[in-house]
Structure 1
């Protein structure tokens, strides 16, 4: 081996006894590709690494470009051992010092030429305006000013290779690593690419050319021949040529004084988190748009899940409201204090108007109404009938949730004056007056004439044994004193405010009444508690509907994970390209995680819109629907969480790919 002469400055790259082996796991024999290779490359040199296929030159290029690590030996870059570099520091070195030109171009197929060139600058944290301006300038200098918006499949091989060169120069390209850059090109395009590489070398770039073609290698200043993983020759192609002086930017990057500070700033990354996120969203949207049919299928699971949760919960809430509204006609928030203790052989007990005041003073009691009931005989003209009489106060419409369908209810003045006025239930009115309007007519109640001032709403039977429409209502004072002749109450109707504390309210009613009676000769019938139990049951059923609907959301999330895993497999080479241009693990993780979340975000929005539309259609068809903002926001949040949770594993898998393996994938 003949060593090159004349360059006395410290080498830019120094390899000392580099070895690289593959395999050796699970009992398989290890294959040694590089065998104790040593090499020095100075800044500004144009070096060609020549060798037949399988000689190890591509493996050497991967090690030189920090895409791979040697099995043993030392790699010194600007005098620093890269074995001590972290993964982020190696990523910075790739984007700050190296520019790769591959035989297969390795352009990202989903983005246009301009954005392909921008990729290294994205990971360097350069602002969008600056990187677009520089990328456009580079492409224009390479004769592609009219191809900025063209995707790789719309460009010829030579044009794609020039895009690759522009990308290599985006962050400076102080060291150009060109792996068989003319191998896939015709002779004319190959000559153009080689001319570009010579120009770069003359401009002060360090160019390392990997080729099997000696005619191509002869255009370099120095030829290093490799065979079976070892250097067998290292000679200058032109003994009179001197390496070009490197650029000022290269001097700053490679100087011993500036290197640590530049690396620290580069690893810290210059872009803001917001800029990083916006760039990830833009890239994710482009991928979704290019693969829009597959994206729509992926969205479908999320859309169905979100829409189902919204509609199911809305139907459940509407049904619950309907049930409660029907129960309200029978007083869902009522309690009753009834004479008589729990012991059948004990005293019967009575309730008085004084007890009403005690009950009314209890917290959570909105109204306490005395109630006296008796059977009376009614006569109107020649028609006689009998019906229950309810002697109640003016609070009856509120306590009983029962109002006149026509006419008016009696007033407090009627109560004070023991007025002989009556409201007829629907069936009583029909028996006495038929279809005739009873308002203003007189009815004998136990031979006492009463004027009809109202007809009660038709309510229907509350149970199999009673019919609330077959009653009459009179003022409490009139009914108890002038008709029934007793002030002993049949019961006290209690209207409570908060159903959640009805049991506590019942206890608070019992205690002072028992103290006043000196015995518990009454019972508190807690109907509100049973209604509350019915309400809780309905809420449970609604929740079950929501959980059933949520299953489809989980299925949609599994679909997202499956599609993302397929996407990682399909885009493995793209991941390798991004890593070769300086992407860190967290950059890859953020990009693929953003894609999963964006799919879920779009699916969530579409699901909310479709869910609301379905709900509106159901309302049009008279289905009880009550939309809940909490349910809508919850379904949307679950969609995002689904994307985050189910997208994390594929994103992490993508971030942990080996750059060399990723680049070699098909």
Structure 2
């Protein structure tokens, strides 16, 4: 006498009893013992409970009551991963409907248990080819199930059952879908396996097939009514290898997460077989990634252009203006003496006095009200404002109170529309004639002083005497030597003038601070535009989730096959997450390429755009995260499917 490999005591299995459903007893107190190496046929009519018993013995289902020991260990104490290990290492299933994955070749179907066992690619290829060759399928290894006959598919199923050893082969109606000749071949294969030391449990309703076994157990209405062997004294086959439990069976096989080559290959194949649905799923991801890249490029391009234009006035400049007359000290304002005192500070490079106001300017038959600015000859260098035509007035013009003028580009265009070269023309400011000696390059309204191109520039002394009749400046432009010390210099200037005036009747505008504020505003706009674009990614992610949920529903039988061949819950999650991520990666790559193409088109059309590697990587990373986040729920749902229900495609 020897210890049985399989031992069940008073096994019961019932269904129903939930939400008012009636309770149906399938197994009613089954007890049996099967030794290693036995060839046992469990026979009974449809509905007798024989398939349910096989599912329990193969750890695809759990009993409602009773005890099941495998190699001396109570199966009820095993975790889900340990049960997966047992299915993978101890059992091999041969089903009536073959249960091959239709998208995989014969070789790949046979390799499946070894993949979940963590066997190396070369090793599992060699073993799968050897098994298929042994079963007469050496020339069919690359064929898919629909390219094989029923008998060939069943032999592939048997090869898969033996891939990891197949200590116990569970064959459920293995000849039910075969012709008599193919059925005889399969039964001979099962008999040969039993002779080689495998434990073979045949489930059938055919008494003729059951007679091929060395022991027949008849089951009727969930109970054993006949057993041709004494179940209390099983005799082990001398060729059967003993089964040993490892210390930590659940840890057998690596946990590759969330991506591996086998899963990726299967995922790519599924995408290829459903091209139209895959294309629609990709569309949301592609639009989202491309939108993020384009929006960032446009936002950064706009920011770069605005910063360049604002920076053209000099980020080292301070603008100082009088607030107005003080009620305590009438007539007090910014004076030339104040500017001389400021110029004496150590960090000051130049102080440019300015006197401004609106005046009517005439030239020929045209007149317009515009902004007249009396300033110093250093304006082009201090404010980095270049001439487009002619020249700027100099220090001699300043001393001579010369009636010369330099026009802003807008004034030149509107006041003298009939000439391309306004230099040498005469205009009237009030009643005083001025000779046009130059035209400034276009700036745009960027400093807050009004439209910088809608201006007439004249020497400060001339503006004071001939235009405004006021000797003191309206405001001053202060150039600081070191950009890094602008804030410190601003504080020093404010302290100096406040001390001189004994009050704060002035204000200072920091150009660098304005640049920073403008940059922050542009950044906020860019982020806002990008967030709008991210909505497309979210929509794409919802599309991925919907498609994956549909895929899980369509492939429940495949999920059952994978669980029966030893896949853990994590393996199923990884398989479907890999598919979701592969869709997202493909969409991300296409989105990046399309986004770059659109950006280049915008550049060619003259739209400012600046590509950001960080934005491109962020958009691509978001597409990966989309696949991971929105693919997890369908993957988790797939992993939680009941293997028995999944195998029947319910």
Q: Which TM-score applies when normalising by structure 1?
A: 0.83
Deviations 1:325-372 (A, max 9, x none): 566677898652123447456442233365466489699x99753335
For the 8 Å contact 2:320–2:475, the answer to whether it is kept is yes
**Is residue 2:628 matched to residue 1:644?**
yes
Aligned mates of 1:80, 1:432 — CA distance in 2: 103
How many residue pairs are counted as aligned between the two chains? Answer: 641
Change (3 A) 1:312 1:13: same
Change (3 A) 1:658 1:444: closer
Change (3 A) 1:154 1:436: closer
For the 8 Å contact 1:342–1:523, the answer to whether it is kept is no
Distance apart, 1:48 and its partner CA? 0.6
Distance apart, 1:647 and its partner CA? 1.0
Aligned mates of 1:371, 1:439 — CA distance in 2: 23
**Is residue 2:267 matched to residue 1:284?**
yes
The worse-fitting range, judged by mean Cα deviation, of 612-621 and 156-165 is: 612-621
Partner of 2:176: 183
For the 8 Å contact 1:357–1:368, the answer to whether it is kept is no
For the 8 Å contact 1:425–1:458, the answer to whether it is kept is no
Distance apart, 1:629 and its partner CA? 2.8
Within a 5 Å distance, the mapping from 1:476-625 to structure 2 comes to 488-494=472-478, 509-525=493-509, 536-625=520-609
Partner of 1:163: 156
For the 8 Å contact 2:392–2:437, the answer to whether it is kept is yes
Within a 5 Å distance, the mapping from 1:208-357 to structure 2 comes to 208-235=201-228, 244-247=237-240, 250-251=241-242, 254-255=243-244, 259-261=245-247, 264=248, 266-271=249-254, 273=256, 277-322=260-305, 335-341=318-324, 343=326, 346-347=329-330, 348-352=332-336, 355=339
For the 8 Å contact 1:502–1:529, the answer to whether it is kept is no
For the 8 Å contact 2:30–2:223, the answer to whether it is kept is yes
Aligned mates of 2:146, 2:349 — CA distance in 1: 77
Aligned mates of 2:344, 2:573 — CA distance in 1: 66
Change (3 A) 1:499 1:596: farther
Distance apart, 1:313 and its partner CA? 3.3
Partner of 1:17: 10
The worse-fitting range, judged by mean Cα deviation, of 284-293 and 158-167 is: 284-293
SS in 2 for 1:184: coil
Partner of 2:407: 425
**Is residue 2:471 matched to residue 1:471?**
no
Aligned mates of 2:407, 2:373 — CA distance in 1: 10
Distance apart, 1:390 and its partner CA? 2.8
Aligned mates of 2:507, 2:531 — CA distance in 1: 41
Among 67, 82, 107, the alignment partner of 1:89 is: 82
Name the Cα RMSD after superposition.
4.5
The worse-fitting range, judged by mean Cα deviation, of 108-117 and 637-646 is: 637-646
**Is residue 2:70 matched to residue 1:77?**
yes
Deviations 1:419-443 (A, max 9, x none): 9896632657998998596879999
For the 8 Å contact 2:584–2:626, the answer to whether it is kept is yes
Distance apart, 1:648 and its partner CA? 1.1
Deviations 1:101-125 (A, max 9, x none): 0011111112111111111001101
Among 362, 371, 379, the alignment partner of 2:354 is: 371
For the 8 Å contact 1:410–1:421, the answer to whether it is kept is no
Within a 5 Å distance, the mapping from 1:22-171 to structure 2 comes to 22-171=15-164
SS in 1 for 2:228: strand
Deviations 1:172-218 (A, max 9, x none): 01110000000010111111111111111111111111111111111
Aligned mates of 1:608, 1:600 — CA distance in 2: 12
Gapped regions of structure 2 (runs ≥ 5): none
Change (3 A) 1:589 1:486: same
Distance apart, 1:277 and its partner CA? 2.8
SS in 2 for 1:24: coil
Partner of 1:3: none
SS in 2 for 1:639: helix
Change (3 A) 1:470 1:143: same
Change (3 A) 1:563 1:84: same
For the 8 Å contact 1:407–1:454, the answer to whether it is kept is yes
Distance apart, 1:145 and its partner CA? 1.3
Aligned mates of 2:25, 2:362 — CA distance in 1: 117
For the 8 Å contact 2:289–2:592, the answer to whether it is kept is yes
Aligned mates of 1:648, 1:501 — CA distance in 2: 54
Distance apart, 1:597 and its partner CA? 1.5
Deviations 1:571-618 (A, max 9, x none): 111111111111111111111112112211111111111122122223
Q: Which TM-score applies when normalising by structure 2?
A: 0.85
Change (3 A) 1:638 1:105: same
Aligned mates of 2:413, 2:188 — CA distance in 1: 109
For the 8 Å contact 2:354–2:373, the answer to whether it is kept is no
Among 189, 200, 208, the alignment partner of 2:193 is: 200
Aligned mates of 1:566, 1:432 — CA distance in 2: 71
Distance apart, 1:461 and its partner CA? 8.3
Change (3 A) 1:465 1:208: closer
Aligned mates of 1:443, 1:27 — CA distance in 2: 100
Aligned mates of 1:11, 1:460 — CA distance in 2: 94
Aligned mates of 1:228, 1:433 — CA distance in 2: 106
**Is residue 2:613 matched to residue 1:629?**
yes
Aligned mates of 2:362, 2:181 — CA distance in 1: 118
Gapped regions of structure 1 (runs ≥ 5): 1-7
For the 8 Å contact 1:388–1:471, the answer to whether it is kept is yes
Change (3 A) 1:342 1:122: farther
SS in 2 for 1:70: coil
Change (3 A) 1:505 1:85: farther
Change (3 A) 1:491 1:602: same
Change (3 A) 1:97 1:499: farther
Within a 5 Å distance, the mapping from 1:452-471 to structure 2 comes to 454-457=438-441, 468=453, 471=456
